[in-house]
């Protein structure tokens, strides 16, 4: 497999793995929670490294996903105390965790190559550097297979719990009366989001991860009123955006993450304006029809 093809595939698979859970993240009003999770990943990676002493260890991903879960459960607990308003509970937890991570890095691991800048920005080309060689032939970047596994796990989870996720998302009270343990389901789902964000982190950096999770689903949400349609549109937008953003980054010689998030943003903006204009035109047509009939 050529380098460009492998990296392009990595971009597409990463985009898909992030965007699919993103549908439910957007519908459940958890978008900013993904931002919080992605920032909390840093201390998780540091603690994972503390135990593994190896930057490629799966313990790092586990530690980071657990840190993400601390943000989710911690902010949930803070809001349940009823002593905080609005979204403050999230804004309290993740800077504290991130600070702890930065302090740990500077105190103990200054010699380790844990570049906080790379963690924030991310670059697919760097993640694609390590190639999988079997029998002398290249099978594309190793990371492609990691993201492929994450994508499959996400697909399996969403497939198995589709009905339950749907009912807890749209009518939580009804779901409880059906006997669905929505708290447990929510925790499992957010843990999966945490794992996805962590895995994608290496390839995408903190910022693109949020863009990949939230923006395709938000764009699809503008265009659809049915969940199945929204999922299909999200898939399409994620793939198209991955390819175009990747190309944009090459043209501008910039980090892939920046190119992709700006491109996703452009698509979102165009769709927002287009749906606005269509609404206005429909309203005008209706008013004309009413005026003509009178």
Partner 1 sequence: MSLIEFLGNHTYRMVLFGTITIGLVAGALGSFAYLRKQSLISDVISHAALPGTLLAFLTAVVVLGADGRNMIALIIGAVIVGTLAVLFANGITRASKIRIDTAMAVSLTVFFGAGMLLMRIIANGAFPGKGGIQDYLFGNASVITIADLTTSITVGALALTLMLLFWKEFSLRTFDPDHSTVLGFRARTIDTLMFTTIVIATVIGVKAVGLVLMVAFVVTPPAAARQWTRTLPGMVALSGLFGAVGSGVGAYLSIVLGKVPTGPLIVLTLFAIFLVSLLFSPRRSIITRAISRTRARAALKRELLLASTPAEGALR
How many residues touch partner 1 under the rule CB under 8 A: the total is: 57
**Contact between 130 and partner 1 per CB under 8 A:** no
Phi and psi of 16, rounded to 5°?
Answer: -65, -45
Q: Out of 52, 92, 148, 243, name the contact with partner 1 by CB under 8 A.
A: 92
Distance CA 66, CA 84 (A): 24
Give the range of 2-10, 141-149, 179-187, 249-257 binding partner 1 by CB under 8 A: 249-257
Burial of 290 (0-12, 13-18, 19+ CB in 10 A): exposed
Distances (CA, A) of 35 to 59, 113, 234, 248: 22, 24, 19, 24
Distance CA 94, CA 8 (A): 32
CB-nearer residue toward partner 1: 165 or 249: 249
The footprint of partner 1 on residues 182-241 (CB under 8 A) is: 207-208, 210-211, 214-215, 218, 221-222
Token pair of 198, please? 């962590």
The footprint of partner 1 on residues 24-83 (CB under 8 A) is: 26, 29-32, 34-35, 39, 81, 83
**∠ CA(223), CA(228), CA(234), 5° rounding?**
55
Q: Out of 56, 111, 113, 117, name the contact with partner 1 by CB under 8 A.
A: 117
Q: Quick check: 75 and 96 in contact, CB under 8 A?
A: no
CB-nearer residue toward partner 1: 83 or 134: 83
**Shortest spacing between CB 232 and partner 1, in angstroms:** 19
Distance CA 196, CA 17 (A): 7
CB-nearer residue toward partner 1: 26 or 180: 26
Q: Out of 54, 99, 282, 284, name the contact with partner 1 by CB under 8 A.
A: 99
Of all helices (H) and strands (E), which one includes residue 243? helix 227-252
Q: Which residues bind partner 1 (CB under 8 A)?
A: 26, 29-32, 34-35, 39, 81, 83-88, 90-92, 95-96, 98-100, 102-103, 106-107, 116-117, 120-121, 207-208, 210-211, 214-215, 218, 221-222, 252-255, 257-262, 264-265, 268-269, 272, 275-276
């Amino acid at each position: 497999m050529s380098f460009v093809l492998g990296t392009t595939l990595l971009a597409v698979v990463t985009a898909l793995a992030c965007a699919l859970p993103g549908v439910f993240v957007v519908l459940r009003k958890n978008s900013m929670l993904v931002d919080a999770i992605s920032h909390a990943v840093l201390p998780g990676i540091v603690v994972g490294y503390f135990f593994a002493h190896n930057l490629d260890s799966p313990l790092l991903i586990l530690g980071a996903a657990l840190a993400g879960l601390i943000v989710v459960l911690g902010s949930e607990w803070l809001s349940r105390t009823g002593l905080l308003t609005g979204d403050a509970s999230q804004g309290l937890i993740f800077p504290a965790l991130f600070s702890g991570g930065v302090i740990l890095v500077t105190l103990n691991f200054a010699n380790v190559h844990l570049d906080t800048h790379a963690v924030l920005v991310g670059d697919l080309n760097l993640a694609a550097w390590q190639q999988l060689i079997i029998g002398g032939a290249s099978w594309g970047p190793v990371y492609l297979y990691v993201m492929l596994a994450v994508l499959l796990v996400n697909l399996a989870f969403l497939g198995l719990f589709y009905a339950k996720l749907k009912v807890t998302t749209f009518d939580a009270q009804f779901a409880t009366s059906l006997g669905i343990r929505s708290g447990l389901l929510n925790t499992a789902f957010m843990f999966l989001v945490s794992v996805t964000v962590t895995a994608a982190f290496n390839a995408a950096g903190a910022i693109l991860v949020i863009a990949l999770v939230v923006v395709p689903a938000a764009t699809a949400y503008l265009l659809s009123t049915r969940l199945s349609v929204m999922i299909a549109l999200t898939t399409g937008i994620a793939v198209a955006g991955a390819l175009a953003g990747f190309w944009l980054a090459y043209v501008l010689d910039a980090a892939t993450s920046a190119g992709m998030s700006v491109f996703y943003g452009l698509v979102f903006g165009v769709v927002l304006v287009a749906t606005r204009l269509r609404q206005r035109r429909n309203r005008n047509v209706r008013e004309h029809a009413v005026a003509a009939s009178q």
